[in-house]
């Protein structure tokens, strides 16, 4: 396994990062099997593990903590906070005030919980899981700076932060003498290349590392989802709309043909693409089973030629997204109608 520097932190990480979202009740509830998968990844040379407090309501962190006993110093360990630990996407569980967000009050408490579940006294990378429009960026950076100075965190990062906020965060950090964000974790795949326009140029400008998630496009680039076919997979039970998006499925069919003609499994094509961009440090893999992990590890030597990359560009042009992932972040300006609609009396031109 070759290693890359995580931005300008000096920390060396593998181009494949092991994502732990599927360890626990949401994916693989067998702790012993999940631990075997983690050990297999570490033995293969992956030294970067990414989890979050909300994954299976903290269970993922507990599993990772068990797996890293005796191996903690060999691993670059990353976790995230922003959502309630008892996060429920259905909304059935009420959100308790002050138990989510990017405020000082919550982030300090969230990290303490993560450290306890992970069985460690520090994390190498502590990330804000998603932007929090209710908390000033300076407040967040101030709290994170204190956690770094306390030795509980080695570096701080963001996830799904728009390019404008990346720039603003560095301006605030420089002006106020605060620790700056060293990493960004955005979605990126052959089907979702929007970050090539502004986010990746911004992180390169500021010397940040980029840890991309969903390089297999939420499962679409596994080859198991085909147009006009009934799909029965673990992910399909969650009702994700991106798995049935006709535009995305049309592109997948073209990519399947391209991969077959090149003699490369689609998963290997997708992963090799994700780590080819010079702005990408690592791509997160999220296996649920040992079979899935072994399939992805079998593609670590795949190199995409310029001709193959040019053909991918014709299917999905650079800097464009085909549809969106259900899990992708949308800012308030998009989600809240009142922020994009004038009051009725002010709408006419005359």
CA separation (Å) from 123 to 58, 210, 280? 15, 17, 21
Strand 4-5, strand 12-13: pairing:
antiparallel
Query: Within 13 Å and on the Cβ side, how many CA atoms surround 42?
Result: 21
Q: Is residue 55 flagged as an active site residue?
A: yes
Three-state SS at 50: strand
Distance, in Å, from the CA atom of 237 to the CA atom of 22, rounded to the nearest integer, reads 14
* Pairwise CA distance, residues 272 & 252, whole Å: 16
Upper half-sphere CA count for residue 162 (Cβ side, 13 Å)? 13
**Active-site choice (16, 55, 188, 206):** 55
Write the DSSP symbol of residue 244: S
- The distance from CA 279 to its chain's CA centroid, rounded to whole angstroms, is 15
Tell me the CA distances in angstroms from 121 to 73, 85, 106, 117, 158, one per residue in order: 12, 19, 18, 10, 21
Give the whole-angstrom CA distance, residue 5 versus residue 8. 7
Q: Are 249 and 225 in contact (CB under 8 A)?
A: yes
Whole-angstrom distance, CA of residue 288 vs CA of residue 179: 35
179 Cβ neighbours under 8 A, 6+ residues apart: 141, 144, 145, 148, 156, 173
Spatial neighbors of 153 by CB under 8 A, at least 6 apart, are 111, 122, 123, 125, 126, 144, 147
The secondary structure of residue 65, as a DSSP letter, is H
Active-site residues, by number, are 55
């Amino acid at each position: 396994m070759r290693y890359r520097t995580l931005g300008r932190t000096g920390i060396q990480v593998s181009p494949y990062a092991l994502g732990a979202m599927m360890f626990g009740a949401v994916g693989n509830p067998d702790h012993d099997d999940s631990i075997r998968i983690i050990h297999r990844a570490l033995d293969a040379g992956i030294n970067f593990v990414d989890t979050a407090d909300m994954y299976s309501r903290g269970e993922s962190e507990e599993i990772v903590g068990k797996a890293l006993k005796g191996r903690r110093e060999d691993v670059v360990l990353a976790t995230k906070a922003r959502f309630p630990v008892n996060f429920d996407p259905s909304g059935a569980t009420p959100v308790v005030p002050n138990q989510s967000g990017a405020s000082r009050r919550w982030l300090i408490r969230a990290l303490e919980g993560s450290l306890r579940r992970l069985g460690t006294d520090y994390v190498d990378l502590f990330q804000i899981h998603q932007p929090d429009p209710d908390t000033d960026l300076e407040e967040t950076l101030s709290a994170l700076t204190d956690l770094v100075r306390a030795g509980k965190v080695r570096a701080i990062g963001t996830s799904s932060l728009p390019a404008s906020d990346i720039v603003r965060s560095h301006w605030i950090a420089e002006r106020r003498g605060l620790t700056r964000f060293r990493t960004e974790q955005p979605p990126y795949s052959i089907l979702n290349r929007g970050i090539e326009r502004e986010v990746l140029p911004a992180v390169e400008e500021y010397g940040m590392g980029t840890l991309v998630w969903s390089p297999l496009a939420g499962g679409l680039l596994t080859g198991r989802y085909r147009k006009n076919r009934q799909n029965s997979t673990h992910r399909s039970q969650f009702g994700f709309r991106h798995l049935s998006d006709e535009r995305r499925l049309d592109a997948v069919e073209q990519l399947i043909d391209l991969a077959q003609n090149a003699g490369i499994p689609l998963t290997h094509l997708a992963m090799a693409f994700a780590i080819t961009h010079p702005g990408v440090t690592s791509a997160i893999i999220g296996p649920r089973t040992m079979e899935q992990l072994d399939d992805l590890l079998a593609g670590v030597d795949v190199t995409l030629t310029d001709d193959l990359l040019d053909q991918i560009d014709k299917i999905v042009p650079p800097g464009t997204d085909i549809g969106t992932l259900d899990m992708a972040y949308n800012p308030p300006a998009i989600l809240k109608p009142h922020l994009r609609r004038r009051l009725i009396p002010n709408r006419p031109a005359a």
